[in-house]
């Protein structure tokens, strides 16, 4: 949905807005479930900060942006997903490498 849609009825716009709000609500629910699982997992003693010393959160989503776009929520869940969930673009473990170090193996 662009910022200006010509020739679209108000009912169609309201339906599209409701769909996008549902996608954002689903992202919030899935994120809450992921955060609960992350909180139950013990983290290793490490300093998770950026080069400038700013603390780095365990996960960033479109909801962390000042103005989260409604287009992003559905795309995020379908194409990127949460850590430890299909399609595993955010890593194979829900906690990634905050609980154990990254290992490289040679075969």
Nearest-angstrom CA–CA distance, 48 and 55: 6
Give 50-102 as a DSSP string. -TTS-B--S---GGGSSS--HHHHHHIIIII--TTSTT-TT-SSSSGGGSS--
Check if the beta carbon of residue 96 is closer than 8 Å to that of residue 46.
no
Torsion of CA 57, 63, 65, 67, to 10 degrees: -160
pTM for this predicted structure: 0.60
Most confident option among 25-29, 68-72, 79-83:
25-29
Digit-coded pLDDT (tens) for 14-44: 888 888 888 888 888 888 988 888 888 777 7
Give the pLDDT of residue 68: 66
Provide the pLDDT confidence category of residue 97 given band limits of 50, 70 and 90. Answer: low
Taking the C-alpha atoms of residue 48 and residue 40, their distance in angstroms, rounded to an integer, is 18
The pLDDT confidence band at residue 69, using thresholds 50, 70 and 90, is low
């Amino acid at each position: 949905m662009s910022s200006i849609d010509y020739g679209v009825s108000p009912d169609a716009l309201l339906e599209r807005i409701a769909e996008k709000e549902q996608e954002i609500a689903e992202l919030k629910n899935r994120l809450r479930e992921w955060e609960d699982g992350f909180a139950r997992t013990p983290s290793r003693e490490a300093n998770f900060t950026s080069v400038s010393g700013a603390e780095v959160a365990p996960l960033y989503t479109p909801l962390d942006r000042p103005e989260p776009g409604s287009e992003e929520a559905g795309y995020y869940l379908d194409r990127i997903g949460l850590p430890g969930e299909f399609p595993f673009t955010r890593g194979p473990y829900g906690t990634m490498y905050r609980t154990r170090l990254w290992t490289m193996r040679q075969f």
